[in-house]
């Protein structure tokens, strides 16, 4: 079958093809815009999800650290409630003969005094000088289980006269 196409029909077919191409370009442009919007939204949601996961991980680590601190504190509290051990000792830091602070050991007392500007190498035996003449002095105390109190290591354990306590 042979069909004759007139110039008018050919022009109309060309115009319809051009219109179809233009419509295809327009639809493709809208599809590309929608796809780009979708990709941007996916990236934004992924970033938010990763940030939330990181925050959750940080929160879990913080909770674990707090749990450890709570357990340590509970253990320290239980130990404190049970009373001092028979060999417990403390260091009293004196400043010109006046009590300044208590520390668990000599190193802690020296370190604390260093925060106040005292030289770490300035500690010397004080001998018989009065405490009021010495800028900083560290006096050890030990726990006396028989009397349920701490007593100075440097002072002799003397019973008070007449049995007084």
Q: What is the pLDDT of residues 54-70, one digit of tens each?
A: 999 999 999 999 999 99
| pTM over cut 0.75 | no
- Contacts (Cβ under 8 Å, ≥6 apart) of 139: 91, 92, 93, 94, 152, 153, 154
The CA-CA-CA angle for residues 93, 99, 105, to 5°, reads 25
The structure tokens listed for 47 are: 């970033």
- Average pLDDT, consecutive stretches of 10 residues, N- to C-terminus, the chain (165 residues): 83 94 96 95 96 96 95 85 67 86 87 87 73 82 73 62 60
Where do the structural domains in the chain lie, given as residue ranges?
A: 1-82, 89-163
């Amino acid at each position: 079958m042979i069909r004759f196409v007139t110039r008018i029909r050919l022009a109309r077919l060309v115009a319809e093809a051009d219109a179809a191409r233009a419509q295809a370009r327009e639809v493709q442009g809208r599809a590309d815009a929608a796809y780009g919007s979708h990709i941007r939204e996916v990236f934004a949601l992924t970033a938010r999800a990763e940030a939330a996961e990181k925050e959750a991980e940080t929160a879990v680590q913080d909770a674990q650290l707090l749990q450890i601190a709570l357990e340590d504190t509970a253990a320290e509290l239980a130990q404190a409630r049970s009373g001092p051990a028979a060999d417990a000792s403390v260091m009293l830091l004196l400043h010109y003969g006046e009590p300044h602070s208590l520390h668990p050991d000599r190193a802690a007392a020296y370190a604390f005094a260093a925060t106040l500007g005292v030289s770490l190498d300035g500690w010397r035996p004080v001998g018989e000088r009065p405490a009021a003449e010495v800028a900083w002095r560290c006096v050890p105390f030990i726990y006396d289980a028989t009397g349920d109190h701490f007593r100075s290591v440097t002072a002799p354990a003397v019973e008070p006269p007449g049995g007084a306590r």
